Chain A
């Protein structure tokens, strides 16, 4: 997010003007996204609470409507970060790092939500808060990766360098995503196999499927809204930083002029 205050900016730097345009776009889009998110969440939650009890899981089946969308978004946020990481390394786009950095805490939150709701469901169903099976373990690793990446961003002072280092780390950590997805197929786990996103179509009953999809869509919009907000904040934070740097430079120049 370097703002180069130079009259003749070289051609390759014109992309730097983008954040301003992006901020304008966010200002228009954000109210609509917020509205859609609220409506979808309301519908989804209502649908979720009005489904009949499952013959096996009873009332706890409703946890699924938060658990599954959280997990989807936890992995979705990581995929956003992976594509942003490519944006940082390949195209060196100034917004790419902002997108990745804004997605990390959100991804961590969704991962935590997925872990927590899974745990709450697991207590009555499996009789334990936690088991060390492949799906749960790989998902916990995702949580640690998110936290590690956030620590990495915060440790490197210089934004451009922290962006590139984090991008490499994100790409390496991406190995975990297919492991999470296929852990239930590759290993014998306590966690049930995929019932929605599978090649031969969903096996879930439609009465559960519709609320689940509504909630999934609601969480997607929730993520989009929060992500745009976080990106906006990150851009503003960097603009403040640039202004502060410029202010110190100006004062130094003034001092030199007077002496």
Chain B
């Protein structure tokens, strides 16, 4: 499993791995927001948290299509299925690597991009915190979608259709927590903890369901 972690990490960082592209895509989404709704600083800072979250969600989905597809194409997936290493564990590792090379960089860059949206310091910190605990959920849910659509030539679109509704709770509470951090009476902690809970929940369910789909899909 450590070997798998090292290999996937290496592959993601090399050319064609897509880690840098996800970050660029994130930046593009965030900076197109002011053009879409106009450069009103108050409006921009109000929806800043939402923009950062939507961008992170879309950017995370971007690389998911290839999560198992490249392995399926070159025959590595067959070896993974045969292996004595538990398949659920392998999926967990692959999802974890996906998060480390997309979700984590997005989280770290979020405050920088947030400056373009004129967000307050509290909102920036809150965005970073919620993204840090929320983006893993996207990777783990996404792994299920990726394993279901692995055999499809253009599975990316279908993957998004399947995964996005499952991500909506994360989005709701993530953005809710950011808003709560800025508006006074609302407490930040409950929605924040809910996001963390959803991530933990999918960290367990996701690899399990994904492994099931990969096994059932083998032919």
Contacts and interface: CB of A to CB of B under 8 A. Distances in A.
Nearest to B210: A168
B195 interface: no
A152 B165 contact: no
User: Which of B155, B162, B209 has the largest number of chain A CB atoms within 10 A?
Assistant: B162
A177 B29 CA distance: 33
Report which residue of A169, A175, A179 has the largest number of chain B beta carbons within 10 angstroms of its beta carbon. A169
Interface string A152-188: 1001101001001101110111011001000000000
A45 interface: no
Interface residues of B, number: 23
A151 B219 CA distance: 21
Contacts, number: 62
A147 B169 CA distance: 19
Nearest to B162: A148
B158 A168 contact: no
A165 B161 contact: no
A152 B205 CA distance: 20
B124 interface: no
Given A168-B216, A172-B205, A151 B165 contact: no
A99 interface: no
A228 interface: no
A168 B212 contact: yes
A164 B144 contact: no
A141 B170 CA distance: 13
Contacts of A172: 144, 166, 205, 209
Interface residues of A, number: 24
A169 B162 contact: yes
A165 B148 contact: yes
A148 B161 contact: yes
B148 A168 contact: yes
A176 B198 CA distance: 13
B152 interface: yes
A145 interface: yes
Interface string A177-220: 00100000000000000000000000000000000000000000
A172 B152 CA distance: 19
A164 B216 contact: yes
Interface string B133-164: 00000000000100111011001001001101
B11 interface: no
Interface of A: 89, 137, 141, 144-145, 147-148, 151-152, 155-156, 158, 161, 164-165, 167-169, 171-173, 175-176, 179
Interface of B: 144, 147-149, 151-152, 155, 158, 161-162, 164-166, 168-169, 172, 205, 209, 212-213, 216-217, 219
17 contacts: A141-B168, A147-B161, A148-B162, A151-B158, A152-B149, A152-B162, A165-B148, A165-B216, A168-B209, A168-B212, A169-B148, A169-B162, A172-B144, A172-B205, A172-B209, A175-B166, A179-B169
For the complex of A and B, the 4 pairs showing the least CB-CB separation, nearest first, are A164-B216, A168-B213, A144-B165, A148-B161
